[in-house]
Amino acid sequence: MINNFSVAFYNLENLFDTENNQFTLDKDFTSNSDLDWNNDRYIRKIENLSKVISKIGIKNSKLPPVLLGVSEVENKTCLLDLINSKKLLPHAYDFVHYDSPDERGIDVAFLYQKKYFELTYSDTYTLFLTDEKNNRDFTRDILLVSGKLFDEEIFVIVNHWPSRTNGVNFSDGKRVEAAKLVRKIIIDLQKENKNPHIIIMGDFNDEPNSNSIQNYLMFEGMFNPMLPIKQNKKGSVKYHGKWYMFDQIILSNTFIMGSSNEMKFKKAEIFDAYFLQEKSGKRKGAPKRTYIGKWHQGGYSDHFPVFVNFQKIIKI
């Protein structure tokens, strides 16, 4: 019997296969590129990521995340290779994935253990943005998934918001638009469902106290368990020596309202195990990534995963 379980999010940092897709800007991750991306390196990446996922949350729940949102994955081939890897195959994961209009061809996806989650619905929401010249700025879709987790209906929204390219202030409006779209999704869910269990997860490229999240996404009925982690000056990604809490999992208050809940929030954490960290130099303690510039160091990702622990309440 499962009494405790976890839900997680992980930016996989450029999980590309080795094939060139003529419709996307993925040439860096082919064998003829400066990065010399090849099958051996791809297999190592899959093995590394599966090792990480297999260890998330096991101290509390004794099994990997029952639900896992991911970003920066190229296609279904990569996801199939990931869930069929030696570390993850015993847990019988399945996934939800749609190709998005992102120029590089990277998408979000949703993985789940079929033993505990029954998928009932999924859809994507396109974020329409324009650049300073009023041209379409293509980015990742937002993914909505619903289903029954331990027979309790839940809704999961998986995100990878626009980056901070050209600076925070320059790009802030794009993430505000993403926040508005997610908020609309939530409002629609609340209209159609009484007290819905909602989980928002993703790489927001903003922090819990950023404008987009604090002023446009957070509203009555939701809480962000990542805020205390940010206040403790920790983060999921390190840039120029500073930690940022870009990866977050935000929950509806239904996960903390009373002991009658079948799923009750316990704690949010960053999975920053020692094996995931740079061991020396100016990057010491930061996530050990796959590449530093053009140098392949065979790491995991430039982000740490984040996860939330839940207790399954047994009704008598």
Give the total number of structural domains in the chain. Answer: 1
For residue 69, the domain's CATH number is 3.60.10.10
Least confidently predicted of 125-129, 151-155, 164-168: 164-168
| Owning domain of residue 91 | 4-312
φ/ψ (deg, to 5) at 25: -95, 70
pLDDT, one tens digit per residue, over 154-188 is 999 999 999 988 778 789 999 999 999 999 999 99
pLDDT at 261: 62
Average pLDDT over residues 126-131: 90
pLDDT at 260: 47
**Cα radius of gyration rounded to whole Å, the chain:** 19
Distance from first CA to last CA of the chain, Å, rounded? Answer: 15
Query: For the chain, what is the mean pLDDT?
Result: 93
For residue 28, the SS3 value is helix
If one compares 86 and 3, the residue with the highest pLDDT of the two is: 86
The region that residue 253 occupies, defined by phi over 0 for left and psi between -120 and 50 for alpha, beta otherwise, is: alpha
Average pLDDT over residues 271-277: 97
